[in-house]
Structures are given as structure tokens and as C-alpha cells.
Amino acid sequence: MHTLVKEHIHRENIYMWLLLLILVIVFLLYISFDILIDAEKIAKNKEQTVNHLLYVANLCTKYNIKYWLMHDSLLQLKKQLKDKSMIVFGIYANENTKIDALNVISKQDNYSFSKEMIKIMGTSYWNMSFNINHNDIVVGKIICYERCTDGFIRCINRINIAEIININPIMNTIPSWFISKLDTQIIDKVKIHIPQDYEVLLEYWYGKSYVKSEINNIDKQLSFLTNYVSTKNMTNLKANNCGFVYKYVYPDVDEIYNWIRLNDT
């Protein structure tokens, strides 16, 4: 009887270990499958991002529109385009009519460019950006920048001679030195234009590690950029709004007004 009990306990132990082994195998298969899915997702995201980016870049090059990558697109470029994100281009504001005209060509490829509107005090204004649409889904934007006489570029909407909207100045006010001479990055054998020393801009926008697409420069002074530029061209830059009197600032939040007061007055 004692021997039978021992054999029974032994068999139960074997069954328990077999069950545990099966659970471990199932878990490892699940992890492997999850890793495979993530790898496929990364590859698909990269393919989609690259396709959209190259399409717009090639259009701009073909129709002689000077462009450069901005914000998240520069960040994704540093991260080797591993994440799916909005592509962001910059152009000079005086070329915005060329973007409108691209719709005639791009519609055959299911791309379109539409002006992005913002509402301020119940009135709609153009925020000086175009949405990049593919199959009626927004996949990116093109921001229009004005070259100002104080050596900076800004995203501003001139409603009329006296009334101007300053749009997202913390992200969009940068020394024009960064785009005065553009660098290139090769993506799928295509030369893509980027600001020179763009890592400095990434650190300014997103922080020293710049690993996430989270604005991290609310407290960062514009002098971070102007001091860097002064080491390159021996010019001491100081933003002065070029004498603008802004009717509105967008977004209308205290942090931005404080930033303007400290950095761009």
C-alpha cells in the first residue's frame, strides 16, 4: 500500500511538471508571436511613414519648392523611422500657393493638401499649415514659415497689415541659420532636406535625450539656440518680433505669453 501511494504521488509530480513545462512553452510561443507582430508592425509603420515622406519630398523637389523636415519627422529620422507618426515639413510662406497647386497632380495618387484652420474668438483663421492627406486620412502637415528681419523664422498669419497671429511660437520660432544651408539625409536612395545641425533643434524641442515626441521645452529659453548659432556665424542674435504687434497668439495659454515676454520681445 505504501508503495502504491508513493507511485501515485510520483505520477502526480510528473503530471505537475509536465503541465508546468507546457505552460512555459505556451508562454514562450506567445512572447515570440508578440515579438513577431511588433516587428511586423514596426516594418509596416516605417514603410507607410517613408512612403508618405518620400512622396511629398519628391513632389516638392520636382516643382521647385524648397522644403525641410521639422519637429516629429526629424525626431523619427533620428530614431530610424521606427514609429508611426505624422510627417512634418517646413516651407517658406511665400511658396504656399505652390502647395495648393499640387492638388491637381497629387489627386491621382490619392493625396491632397488642405489648409488647416483654427478658431479664435469664434472666427476661423488659417494656421499657416497644410494637412497632408492620403485616402482622406491626415498623415502629416506642411508648416509655412516667414523669414523675419531679425534673423528668425516664425509661423505667423498676417490677417492684414496691422493684425498678425503668432502660431505656436515656442516650437516655430527658430534662428533662420538652421535652414539657411540645408543638409541632406538619404532615405531609400532619395536625398531628403533637413536643417543643418538638426540635433540641436531636437534637444531644444524635446529635451536632451529626445526619445519621445513630447514637447519638453516650455521652460527652455530661445538663447539655447541663439547661443549655439553665435558660435557658428559670430553673430549675436536677439529675437525682437520685427516690430510685430500680435492680435492673437495661438494657443492662447499663459505659458506661451510668458515665453514670448522672456524670449521674443
| Domain total of the chain | 1
Query: Does any domain span residue 83?
Result: yes
Which pLDDT band, with edges at 50, 70 and 90, does 233 fall under? confident
Looking at residues 74-90, what average pLDDT do you find? 77
Looking at residues 221-237, what average pLDDT do you find? 85
Q: What is the pLDDT of residues 115-134, one digit of tens each?
A: 999 999 899 999 999 999 99
Query: Does any domain span residue 6?
Result: no
Which pLDDT band, with edges at 50, 70 and 90, does 47 fall under? confident
Which residue blocks in the chain are alpha helix, DSSP H?
2-62, 71-78, 96-106, 169-172, 177-180, 198-206, 223-233, 254-263
Query: Does any domain span residue 218?
Result: yes
Query: Does any domain span residue 20?
Result: no
Query: Does any domain span residue 178?
Result: yes
Which pLDDT band, with edges at 50, 70 and 90, does 38 fall under? very low
Query: Does any domain span residue 91?
Result: yes
Mean pLDDT of all residues belonging to the chain:
84
Entry pTM: 0.81
The whole domain housing 141 covers 38-263
Query: Does any domain span residue 9?
Result: no
User: Using alpha carbons only, what angle is made at residue 60 by residues 81 and 151, rounded to the nearest 5 degrees?
Assistant: 85
97, pLDDT greater than 60? yes
In this structure, what C-alpha cell is assigned to residue 72? 516629429
In this structure, what C-alpha cell is assigned to residue 227? 547661443
219, pLDDT greater than 80? no
Query: Does any domain span residue 180?
Result: yes
